[in-house]
Amino acid sequence: MSSGLYNIVMFLPSLLVLAAQWIGLLSMGTFKKGGWRLMVAGTLLSTLAAVISIGFFLMRGAGAYTLAVKAMTIQPVGHILGGVLFAAGFIWHAFAVRSANEHLQQLETLTTAMAEELRVLRDGAK
């Protein structure tokens, strides 16, 4: 397998992960809380790493060999750091959603208890 084809085949899984990150962000909309911002930062870092990698791949030539070697070290690090940032933001977002759901359950329990108390007060007034 030629090195160019090998590079493309090895780059495809990272593009699939990057596409999944963008789809996740776009489906969330503009949540604009801490976890969402961290997910955006991770996705942008991964996208930047992919763009740099594609740019250096297209700039192949006699003088660009050292740049290509640098790109081969920058691209995986960018994808890994971007993935870690995205995962940390995802976890942060999950904790926020869980906390909001727990708060909602507490409010529903309180509303039910208040309705029961009102019913008891009405029955006692009769």
Virtual torsion, Cα 16, 20, 21, 25, nearest 10 deg: 150
**How many C-beta atoms lie closer than 10 Å to residue 46's C-beta?**
25
The residue extents of the domains of the chain are 3-94
pLDDT tens for 62-108 read 555 666 666 677 778 888 899 999 999 989 988 888 888 899 999 99
d(CA 59, CA 82): 24
pLDDT tens for 2-17 read 555 666 666 777 788 8
Token reading at 126: 């009769």
